[in-house]
Amino acid sequence: MACRASAFCLALAFAVLVSLPASAAPDPAVIDSVQQRVVKIYGSGGIANLYSYGTGFLVSPEGHIVTVWSHVLDGDVVTVVLNDGRRFYGKLLNAEPKLDLAVVKIDASDLPYFDLQQTPLAAPGTRVLGFSNMFKVAAGDEPVSVVHGVVTAVTQLTARRGRFEVPYSGPVYVVDAVTNNSGAAGGVLTNYDGQLLGMLGRELLHADSNTWINYVMPIGELAPTIDAIRTGDFTALDNPPEETNPLRYSALDFGIVLVPDVIYRTPAYIDSVRPDSQAAAAGLRPDDLVVFLNNQLVPSIRVLEENLGRLQAEDDVQLVVRRGNQLVSVLLRAPRNADASR
């Protein structure tokens, strides 16, 4: 089960660590080496229970940073804090939502980094270390948190949050350690030699048992896409074709009235729902925040309206909205006549 109190988590991890036999304890020099390659990321969020911080790790000496694809990256730039406290502005190079993966670039050189060509596999029973900025305990030159545990299984991810099924369903390491907490996604899992095994995932519930899971995406599943983004050869999975026709639909065609679009990245909050509309029948409510449209992240009202505008008549429209602390999925359908509900 995921931990929910930073002081308790850190105290528990330390207590278990110091109780290990000397031969079983990780080398402090290895921990220090890994921490130098892990960064803290600060960006969008801070409202409606959306935290504004995360974790990433360096994969090149020129400042390429891998992290999880999330709302924290919604701004034009993010703030990246290195292990020594230096701060940089980072720009999103590209992302692959189906892998929950994004690559950010900072303008730097001669940085310590993980070599993606030297990433071993882990088997059940492998002792591992998890590094992340969980609960934002590190804001400057403080080292990121480290927990230790054991790989308990290698399996396919079957998880959800609320009613939302996550898009990534590939192989994962399931870890007997409290790794997946607020801000931890994008951190790293290593073996006791400091070799990179994978990237920490989000806070998710197992789809069958409804219990929190601590999972890690193996770096071998992510490395080809990371390299493609770095070299500029990346093509997103299921990338939509170029659209040259005028936008056909808007939120109003589904009975959704959004809040005023007052800034460039106004979050897609629902202001009201029209009676006798698809949105009303599906149970959408005022103050719901639209976060995904057909498995694509919705960072703003503009993006939502642009993606709705590209729909064809009778296309399925799966919306995932945040309601309080829950993600709720609803299914709508593009009407035959786009003007009928306006």
Predicted confidence (pLDDT) per residue in 243-300, tens digit: 444 557 889 999 999 988 766 678 899 999 999 999 999 999 999 999 999 888 898 8
Res. 111: pLDDT tops 70: yes
Instruction: Single out the residue of 51, 56, 61, 103 nearest to residue 80, CA to CA.
Output: 56
- Structure letter (DSSP) for residue 73: G
CA 139/CA 80 separation, integer angstroms: 10
**293-305: burial string, b at 16+ Cβ within 10 Å, e else:** bbebbbbbbebbb
CA 29/CA 289 separation, integer angstroms: 44
Map out the domains of the chain with their CATH numbers. Answer: 6-231 (2.40.10.120), 251-333 (2.30.42.10)
Section 211-226 average pLDDT:
92
At residue 87's C-alpha, the angle toward residues 11 and 59, to 5°, is 80
CA 91/CA 75 separation, integer angstroms: 9
The predicted model scores a pTM of: 0.65
CB atoms within 10 A of CB 140: 12
How buried is residue 204: exposed, middle or buried, by Cβ count under 10 Å (0-12/13-18/19+)?
buried
For 297, residues 6+ apart whose C-beta sits below 8 A from its C-beta are: 69, 70, 71, 97, 291
Question: Are the beta carbons of 181 and 2 closer than 8 angstroms?
Answer: yes
Res. 39: pLDDT tops 50: yes
